Chains A and B, each alone.
Chain A
Amino acid sequence: MEKMSEDRYLTFALGKGRLANKTMELFEKIGVTCEEMKDKDSRKLIFVNEDLKFRFFLAKGPDVPTYVEYGAADIGVVGKDTIMEENRRVYEVLDLKYGKCRMCVCGPKSAEELLKHHEMIRVASKYPNIAKDYFYNRKHQTVDIIKLNGSVELGPIVKLADVIVDIVETGSTLRENGLEVLEEICPLSARMIVNQVSMQMEPERIKRLITDLRAHL
């Protein structure tokens, strides 16, 4: 009975944008570099570090857990909000502590009263699963959830919804639109997730990576 799997690439899926940049900065600290990725004009989709046998690609945030669940990527870096919303079967191994913000229930001050009772309200959100879990399982309040895809703050302003569930960083967009944080659902930050199979097939390599990263957080 022979085994193969030496020299296999470890593939990383990184959420596009600031998160990916921060992640590469952190990886550089532990000696994982990818020069190819720094070339802004490159049209490549996959970046390789041949020495370490690491491959990187950028993906839209909500797709990262999907790539990792199906093993198209071994490891992913993505916001906690995405992990909660997507609810994929992956190992969530590390809190990278950057990209910090909060998941909150927001609305006009007048809506505060609505959250104190169990009456039916309308909630608009880009995160229907998180909103549903919060109101049903933690607040035990029956709500009507409306999925929106952007500018969720509009919801209460144009009376589409009573409150919204959304990510709050500084709260300035809220304030400019006469809204405020009414309740905090949970803190958020960037997380590293690992495919279950990869973790079992390559425990030493992945464990070493986690230990190194943890030492630099």
Chain B
Amino acid sequence: MSSHLLHTPEGVRDIYGEEKAKKTAVERLLRQKIESYGYRDIQTPTFEFFDVFSKEVGTTPSRELYKFFDKEGNTLVLRPDFTPSIARCAAKYFMDEDVPIRFCYQGNTFTNTSLLQGKLKEVTQMGAELIGDASVQADAEMIAMTIEALYHAGLSDFQISVGNLEYFKGICAEAGLSEETELELREYISGKNFFGAEELLDSAGVERRDRELLLKVSELFGTAAILDEAKRAVTNERSRNAVKRLEKVYEALCEYGVEKYVSFDLGMLSKYNYYTGIIFKGYTYGVGDAIVKGGRYDSLLGRFGKDAPAIGFMIVVDDLLAAMNRQGVAVEGEEACLRLYYGEKDFHDKLAEARELRAAGKRVELLPKQ
């Protein structure tokens, strides 16, 4: 026997037995909650044309995509996430629809990164998208649904951190930053790298007042009280409206009764180019990165020919499970399986018994007597 046949490539793995049962159970619980909000399942292809995930749409850097060619020489890509596919679908099949559409999905995604040792290249994502609704209520629904789904799955110690890209963009516009500087600054501020931002702004010759303001953004995170501070700090209309929006979303979240899971971070600036306003991430102990990522992407559908606002989120199911595992959260796996043994003579009876139990919804394994 050749032992190399037994190995899987780096970054992918088998999930079986108890672990798979737990994963399925968690997926079921998450899905229950999402479906209870009226979201309908959608399935998109595992691979699509490169352009769907290209730089302009802005999801994953091209070098981290798994690419290959079809017979005609088109470049195909294994999906690195779902949102662009869903946006494409919505634009294609619901072009003339004006009522909001609600989709949910689940499936594996693929990113070819070797940099993050210990990170899987194939992970299961579950998420939802609400298309055609630009309201505060839509923002709140998404965030509240995320919280309820995580809680329903069994997680209790987590935070959803909410930001609004418009706040930062308003200040940048006021300060008249070049696009290049803004992009670099975004990197520093989302990394909470205060002094890196400081150096950059010094070398870019930004005015003192704008400089202080931009630097302050990296410190504007914490409880809802931070919103007051954020509002007081700015005078430009765009940033003020961004905070007002967050306040309204917070009010709505209080209506849902989930506010204790919510904090704010105005320095949260996604590397995904498609996010436009509200943006949020879910954090819990046990994994180093956010287990939930979501936000508003009001211009993405326009790329596919349908102008419609949209907001969505996705949960990295594998990371959620890892976190629950490390936190010692019990997950109810599968129901125990009954075992019936048949001998040479009583197969007929045992089979009848097994069939009866199965019809009653029990799990029965039929085995020959040793």
Contacts and interface: CB of A to CB of B under 8 A. Distances in A.
Interface string B43-87: 000000000000000000000000000000000000000000000
Nearest to B161: A200
A92 interface: yes
B67 to A, nearest CB: 21
B157 A203 contact: no
5 smallest CB-CB distances across A and B, nearest first, come from: A91-B192, A200-B283, A203-B222, A95-B195, A197-B283
B161 A93 contact: no
B154 interface: no
Given A199-B192, A201-B285, A203-B263, 9 more contacts: A1-B258, A5-B285, A71-B285, A91-B192, A92-B193, A92-B196, A197-B285, A200-B265, A203-B222
Contact of B263 (A68, A71, A195, A200): A200
Interface string A199-215: 11101100100000000
A207 B159 CA distance: 17
A71 B286 contact: yes
B222 A204 contact: yes
B110 interface: no
A194 B283 CA distance: 14
Interface in B151-168: 151, 156-157, 159, 161
B191 A91 contact: yes
B287 A203 contact: no
Given A4-B157, A70-B288, A87-B115, A201 B283 contact: yes
A3 B118 contact: no
B253 to A, nearest CB: 13
Contacts of A200: 159, 161, 221, 263, 265, 281, 283
B337 to A, nearest CB: 33
B260 interface: yes
Interface of B: 115-116, 118, 151, 156-157, 159, 161, 191-196, 219, 221-223, 258, 260-261, 263, 265, 281, 283-290
Interface string A75-92: 000000000000101011
Which secondary structure characterizes the binding site on chain A? Answer: mixed
A3 B283 contact: no
Contacts of A92: 191-193, 196
Contact of B194 (A4, A68, A94, A196): A94
Given A92-B191, A92-B192, A196-B283, A3 B221 contact: no
A177 to B, nearest CB: 33
Given A69-B288, A201-B159, A207 B219 contact: yes
A84 B64 CA distance: 20
B151 A1 contact: yes
B288 A89 contact: yes
Contacts of B284: 197, 201
Interface in A2-45: 2-5
Contact of B289 (A4, A89, A207): A89
A14 B100 CA distance: 52
Q: Which of A69, A89, A196 has the most CB of B within 10 A?
A: A196
A201 B115 CA distance: 26
B283 A203 contact: no
Contacts of A87: 115
B194 A71 contact: no
Contacts of A203: 221-223, 263
Given A203-B222, A207-B222, A3 B157 contact: yes
A73 to B, nearest CB: 11
Contacts of A199: 192, 221
B193 A91 contact: yes
Contacts of A68: 288
A205 B281 CA distance: 20
A194 B258 CA distance: 27
Q: Which of B193, B223, B260, B290 has the most CB of A within 10 A?
A: B193
A207 B218 CA distance: 11
Nearest to B147: A1
A197 B288 contact: yes
Contacts of B223: 203
Contact of A196 (B222, B263, B290): B290
A115 B165 CA distance: 42
A208 to B, nearest CB: 11
22 contacts: A4-B156, A4-B157, A68-B288, A70-B118, A91-B193, A92-B191, A93-B193, A93-B194, A95-B195, A195-B288, A196-B283, A197-B283, A197-B287, A197-B288, A197-B289, A199-B221, A200-B221, A201-B159, A203-B263, A204-B222, A207-B219, A207-B222
